[in-house]
Structure formats: structure tokens, C-alpha cells
């Protein structure tokens, strides 16, 4: 297919050349089945947790690890140590500072694997942990994991009672990912008597003498935190003297819930933490390693492992549907993709539509199932963001069966509208998942207890709805636009929950607003464009640090290809087609593209749990620059720049 873009000036010529090369790279990455899939990586906590799981499953005997485990443990150790910072600690995003929980996990894993604690690396790591507040400053999940081996006082780890299964719909007021983590963890927490560790193994050197290992009360005695801490103490008493019949009923209900959700999926929740905890839970429930349920859980978990020569690391999950949707949209917007490639992508995406009710249906029981998940298979958890992105991509791909395609799109649009929350915005997996009180429970410090609406997803949903003919007069669109107007920050930006951070939120909000017909002469749109221009780096690109989440404001970083692309897309959607900022951004992308048509990107630009867990999408650096270049060339040709 020949692009329809008319080349005008020199910058446009360079942009077209860069776009053509980028599209060729993406096209070469497409699988024969039609999907795109690149690796998704995170920090060292995944490898550290894997070593903890080996201690659970195959503990060393007389200090000697199972010969089958030892080679992989050595690779995991190498993987962890390769990312140690000069100050001795470990961070949770590239070029970020040492973080205490990641550092404690690494110390535990390295010491368990036999790295001498007297060595220079472990000494620096230990000193850094103590400087960060010691093991007592680690988060709830570190405490819980270590308490399973009596390496952290049980009274200092939050209770995760399986009795939550008996409290009606309470579990569905937690975010879907918290729910899938907490339920197997509650079984593990309830049944675990304290797993053995090698003789003499402990972490006493990480405790700051005199500092309490328990959670500390808030200053206000009647605060929710203090109330929940009092409840936690009551639960610890219940664990010792409670009615065993009640607990057993709760555990069996949790077991049933877990096993139901391992069907038609790449493991429970299809993400690393619940996939690890269900292995531990099934072990405690008496499922032998060869039992089909447990063997499948182990198989799915092991698939997350990447072992390539000396490289060894875990992916937190598979991002294949997400990668495919973004790549298909970028390719379609560029006009460079052959029809055959786009049809293959469309047929593959069509095959992944959800047609069964999942957890979302608890609050929307009468809504016809549809939507898409993130991974290869995760039928219980389609998500709104993926669904909107897939619809954007499929607008260009179509499918070989037009009737089936049209019916699927109709269902998906209906599902999207039905999943709008009361405030007019859209969340990731659920509707009205905003019980703020739950964010105060002791194990909520992973900062993702809830799944509230957010501007980035709302903007993408509005763009998708508008593309398929929903106009500003539609109630869902009108409420969504009002939501974005209300949630704009005072500086003109929008918060980005699922990408780093304000650049991501702003570009998606602007694209959604433009698609819905908002004038680029409105003051709030102009303010957003001015904000984007104000945070541009001197090299012409844009970059934002994960520290923005810690600081609750934009925090600059070296320019990246993906964030530069987002800023360009935001400027174009906001009506800026001629500014020096826009031109400098395009020049940055064309100048930093490598001769093979790719871009390098060292920073994490994806968000898992703000302030806790970040993601590096290895396809972002290719798909989003292509989309930005294509959108710029359309604006040069007088086509819709949104």
C-alpha cells in the first residue's frame, strides 16, 4: 500500500522517510498469526521473588540446593547483581534511586543463594537498606513473604484473612489485580505454619535496633488507619482462637474461586504475583506437584521466565493483545501496511474477543460480554483500556469476515459504554471501584487497592467511541468529556495512571477531546498545549521520570522516543501544527532513529502500580513514534491531525 501523504518541506520529507523505516521494522516484527508481541520487563523484585518460591518448593538440604534449581538460581543471582546501584541498593525503575523494599528482597534472595554477606556488594547493600530505614520500612508484601518463613515477625505483617470470601461482594470492591493476589495469599497466610529455612539463616542484620517491627499508629486516634490496625490485631487473635469451621469454609470458598479463574487463562489473573501465590496455596491445600491443577499453575508461571544464554529474568505478564492493538493502529494511521498484514492482525484480534462473563459482571450482570484482555488468554479479566485500543486498531485492520467483524465491534462498543463509572470516567477493569476506605487497610501499601477512573483511559475510550460514530450528543460521550474537564490539573496537564505520567495522561485526554469535537480554541485545550511545550527538553524531545508519581507533579527526565511521540500527538490533537516545539519534536524523532529504523529507550514509561512497580514496554519505542510521525504528516497534508 502506498501512503497518501503528500510530501511538502524538508522536515516532512525526513519524517516520511523515518516513518517508512519504522513501519518496515514493525511489519517485520509481526507474527505469521497476525499479532505483535515484544517483551515486557520490570525490576529485580521478580527474580528475587522467584528465588523465594524456590525456597518454598525446593529448599536446600544441608545448605545445598537441588541440582535442578542451582543453575537457574545462579542465573537469577547474576541478573539481580547486574542491576545493583553504585550505592549498593536496588531501584524500581531505570535510573531511579534505591528503594527499600526492592533492596530487602534482593538481599534476601542473594543471601539465600549463597552470596557471602561479608562481601563488598552485600555490605554496601546492607548499609543502604539500613540507611533507608531498615527492613522495618519495607512494604506489606515484603513483610508477608518473609513472615511465611518466620524471617519477619508475624505480628508485624498484616493479616490477610480468607474470611473475606464470606463478606459478600467485598472482594469485588478491591481492584481486580488486588483481588487475584489477595485471595491465594489469604489461603497461604492462613495455612502456612512457617516454612523452614536453612539452619542459621536469618535477616537480623537488616533490622534497626529499637525500631518497631509492627505498623505504627497514626497521630489521630480515630483515623481509619488506626481503626484498621485495631481490626488487624483482632484478626490475629481470631487466627489463634477463631472457629475452625468458619475458617475452613472460607478457605474452601477461596479454593473454588481460584480454580474457577484458572480456566481459559494464562494462569490466575495472568500476572506474576497471583500466579506465584496460587502455586503456594495449592501446595498447602494438598495438591501434589503432579496434580493437573498445580502442574498447570506451575507451567503457566514458568512461561513468564526468559532464559536466553546468560540472560535470565521474568516478565510480569504477556502484553500481546496490547502490543498488537497499538502496532495495528500505528500501522493503519501510517498507511504503509499491506492489506494482508492488517487483515491477519484483525482476524487474530477478533479471535481474542471475550464472550464470557468475568468479575466485571458482578456490577454489570445484564451487560453482554465483550472486550479484550491484555495477554494471550485471560477470559475473566477483559479491560477497558485494551478494549478501546483494540477498537482503534481494528478500525484499520477490519477482518476477512465483515459480518463477524461488525457484530464484534457493536458488542465491544456496547460493553465500553456499559462500563462507564458514575463519575463519567472509565477505569481499567471494573465500574465504580472506588471504596476509598479500602486504601487504608494495612496491606494496601502497594498503592493499587482500588481501580478508580482515570483521564488516560477515559481519553482513549472517547477516541474509540468517536471513531465509530458516537458524537458529543451521546450521554456517555458528554459525561466523559465533562469528566476530563473536571480532572485537568491546574497547570493544564492530566494525570496518567497507566503510563508515565502527565505527558501520557495529557496526550490521551487531548486526543479524546479532539475526537469528540472539542474546539482547540477553548482555554483548557490551549492551556494543555502550553503545558506540553513548557516541559520540552532542550534536545527537542520529551522525557518524564517515574518520580512524578512520588512528587505529585511533573518531574523531567532525559528524552525518550515514546514520551516524545506522546507529546507530539498531544500537541497535534490540541491544534498545534506549526510551533517550533512541534518541529523540534519531529526533528528529535528523525535524528534519534537508528539506521535500522528503530529507536533506543532506556527508561520505563509504563506504569503498573504508581510509586511501587513500573514497566518497560519494548514495543512502545517503535509503535508510538510511528504513530506520531504519521499524525504529523497527516496534519501537513491537511488531514485530521487528531
Tens digit of pLDDT for each residue in 570-614? 999 999 999 999 999 999 999 999 999 999 998 999 999 999 999
CA–CA separation, 316 vs 375, rounded Å? 11
- Label residue 193 by pLDDT band (50, 70, 90): confident
For the residues 36-61, what does the mean pLDDT come to? Answer: 96
Residue 5 has pLDDT above 60, yes or no: no
Q: For the segment 535-554, what is each residue's pLDDT rounded down to a tens digit?
A: 999 999 999 999 999 999 99
What is the distance between the alpha carbons of residues 387 and 263, in angstroms, rounded to a whole number? 21
Condensed to tens digits (0 to 9), the pLDDT of residues 450-496 reads: 999 999 999 999 999 999 999 999 999 999 999 999 999 999 999 99
Strands 613-617 and 606-609, sheet pairing = antiparallel
Say whether pLDDT at 642 is over 60: no
Which pLDDT value is given to residue 231? 65
Q: Which of 401, 443, 423, 422 has its CA nearest to residue 185?
A: 443
Given a cut of 80, is residue 226 above it in pLDDT? no
Least confident among 42-51, 156-165, 456-465, 576-585: 156-165
Better-predicted residue by pLDDT, 233 or 568: 568
Q: What is the pLDDT of residue 486?
A: 98
Closest CA to 506 of 482, 479, 478, 487: 487
Say what the pLDDT of residue 236 is.
Answer: 67
Q: Which three cell numbers stand for residue 399?
A: 477482518
Indicate if the pLDDT at residue 569 is higher than 60. yes
Residue 423 pLDDT grade (very low, low, confident, very high; cuts 50, 70, 90): very high
In the predicted model, is pLDDT for residue 179 greater than 80?
A: yes
Position 3 confidence tier, pLDDT thresholds 50, 70, 90: very low
Judging by beta carbons within 10 Å of its beta carbon (0-12, 13-18, 19+), is residue 426 exposed, middle or buried? buried
Global pTM reads 0.95
Mean pLDDT of all residues in 279-283:
98
β-partners of residue 348 are: none
C-alpha cell at 544: 518524564
DSSP letters spanning 358-423:
-GGGGT-TTSPP--B-SSS-BTT--BHHHHHHHHHHHHHH--S-HHHHHHHHHHHHHHHHHT--TT
Report in angstroms the alpha-carbon separations of 252 from 120, 190, 273, 427. Answer: 48, 12, 21, 31
Assess whether 385 carries a catalytic annotation: yes
- The answer to whether residue 329 scores a pLDDT higher than 50 is yes
**242 — phi, psi (to 5°)?**
-70, 170
Structural domains in the chain, CATH included, are 15-41+318-436+447-636 (1.50.10.20), 157-191+217-304 (1.50.10.20)
C-alpha closest to that of 373 among 351, 405, 341, 344: 351
295-315 pLDDT, tens per residue? 999 999 999 999 998 889 999
Cross-strand partners of 441: none
- The Cβ-side half-sphere exposure at 254, using a 13 Å CA radius, reads 35
Q: What pLDDT does residue 225 have?
A: 61
pLDDT at residue 436 in the model: 83
Catalytic residue, from 283, 385, 445, 576: name it.
Answer: 385
The closest alpha carbon to 511, from 451, 467, 548, belongs to 467
| Number of other CB atoms surrounding residue 241 within 10 Å | 7
| 177, 448 Cβ separation under 8 angstroms | yes
Amino acid at each position: 500500500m502506498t501512503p497518501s501523504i503528500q510530501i511538502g518541506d524538508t522536515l516532512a520529507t525526513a519524517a516520511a522517510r523515518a516513518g517508512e523505516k519504522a513501519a518496515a521494522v514493525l511489519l517485520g516484527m509481526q507474527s505469521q498469526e497476525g499479532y505483535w508481541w515484544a517483551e515486557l520487563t520490570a525490576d529485580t523484585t521478580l527474580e528475587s521473588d522467584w528465588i523465594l518460591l524456590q525456597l518454598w518448593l525446593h529448599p536446600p538440604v544441608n545448605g545445598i540446593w537441588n541440582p535442578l534449581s542451582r543453575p537457574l538460581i545462579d542465573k537469577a543471582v547474576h541478573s539481580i547483581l547486574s542491576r545493583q546501584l553504585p550505592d549498593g541498593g536496588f531501584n524500581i525503575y531505570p535510573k531511579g534511586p534505591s528503594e527499600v523494599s526492592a533492596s530487602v528482597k534482593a538481599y534476601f534472595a542473594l543471601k539465600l543463594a549463597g552470596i557471602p554477606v561479608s562481601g563488598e556488594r552485600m555490605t554496601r547493600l546492607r548499609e543502604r537498606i539500613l540507611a533507608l530505614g531498615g527492613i522495618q520500612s519495607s512494604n506489606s508484601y515484603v513483610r508477608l513473604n518473609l513472615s511465611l518463613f518466620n524471617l519477619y515477625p508475624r505480628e508485624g505483617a498484616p493479616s490477610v484473612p480468607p474470611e473475606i470470601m464470606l463478606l459478600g461482594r467485598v472482594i469485588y470492591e478491591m481492584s481486580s489485580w488486588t483481588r487475584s493476589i489477595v485471595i491465594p495469599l489469604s489461603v497461604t497466610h492462613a495455612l502456612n505454619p512457617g516454612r523452614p529455612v536453612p539452619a542459621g539463616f536469618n535477616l537480623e542484620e537488616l533490622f534497626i535496633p529499637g525500631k518497631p517491627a509492627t505498623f505504627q499508629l497514626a497521630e489521630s486516634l480515630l483515623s481509619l488507619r488506626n481503626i484498621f490496625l485495631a481490626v488487624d490485631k483482632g484478626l490475629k487473635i481470631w487466627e489463634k482462637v477463631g472457629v475452625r469451621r468458619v475458617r475452613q469454609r472460607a478457605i474452601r470458598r477461596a479454593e473454588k474461586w481460584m480454580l474457577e479463574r484458572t480456566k481459559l487463562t494464562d494462569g490466575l489473573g495472568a500476572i506474576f504475583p497471583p500466579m506465584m501465590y496460587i502455586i503456594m496455596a495449592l501446595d498447602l491445600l494438598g495438591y501434589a506437584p503432579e496434580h493437573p491443577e498445580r502442574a498447570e499453575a506451575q507451567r503457566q508461571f514458568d512461561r513468564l521466565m526468559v532464559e536466553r544464554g546468560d540472560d535470565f529474568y521474568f516478565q510480569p505478564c504477556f502484553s500481546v493483545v496490547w502490543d498488537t492493538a497499538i502496532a495495528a493502529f500505528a500501522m493503519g494511521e501510517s498507511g504503509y501496511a499491506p492489506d494482508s498484514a492488517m487483515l491477519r492482525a484483525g482476524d487474530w484480534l477478533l479471535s481474542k474477543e471475550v464472550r464470557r462473563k468475568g468479575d466485571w459482571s458482578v456490577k454489570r450482570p445484564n451487560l453482554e460480554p465483550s472486550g479484550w484482555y491484555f495477554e494471550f488468554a485471560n477470559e475473566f479479566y477483559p479491560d477497558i483500556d485494551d478494549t478501546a485500543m483494540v477498537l482503534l486498531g481494528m478500525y484499520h485492520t477490519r477482518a476477512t469476515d465483515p459480518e463477524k467483524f461488525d457484530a464484534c465491534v457493536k458488542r465491544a462498543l456496547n460493553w465500553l459504554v456499559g462500563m462507564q463509572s458514575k463519575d463519567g470516567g472509565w477505569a481499567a477493569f471494573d465500574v465504580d471501584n472506588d471504596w476509598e476506605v479500602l486504601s487504608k487497610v494495612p496491606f494496601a501499601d502497594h498503592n493499587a487497592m482500588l481501580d478508580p477512573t482515570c483521564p488516560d483511559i477515559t481519553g482513549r475510550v472517547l477516541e474509540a467511541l468517536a471513531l465509530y460514530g458516537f458524537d458529543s450528543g451521546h450521554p456517555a460521550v458528554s459525561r466523559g468529556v465533562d469528566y476530563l474537564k473536571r480532572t485537568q490539573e491546574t497547570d493544564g496537564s492530566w494525570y496518567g495512571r497507566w503510563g508515565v505520567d502527565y505527558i501520557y495522561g495529557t496526550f490521551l485526554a487531548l486526543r479524546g477531546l479532539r475526537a469528540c469535537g472539542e474546539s482547540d480554541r477553548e482555554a483548557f485545550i490551549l492551556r494543555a498545549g502550553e503545558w506540553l511545550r513548557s516541559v520540552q527538553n532542550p534536545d527537542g524531545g520529551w522525557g518524564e521520570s517515574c518520580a512524578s508519581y512520588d512528587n505529585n507533579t511533573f518531574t523531567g527526565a532525559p528524552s525518550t522516543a515514546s514520551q516524545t511521540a506522546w507529546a507530539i500527538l498531544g500537541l497535534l490533537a490540541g491544534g498545534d501544527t506549526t510551533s517550533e516545539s512541534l518541529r523540534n519534536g519531529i526533528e528529535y524523532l528523525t535524528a534519534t532513529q537508528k539506521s535500522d529504523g528503530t529507536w533506543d529507550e532506556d527508561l520505563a514509561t509504563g506504569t503498573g502500580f504508581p510509586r511501587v512497580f513500573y514497566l518497560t514496554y519494548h514495543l512502545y519505542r517503535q509503535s508510538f513514534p510511528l504513530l506520531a510521525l504519521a499524525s504529523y504528516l497527516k496534519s501537513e497534508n491537511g488531514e485530521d491531525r487528531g
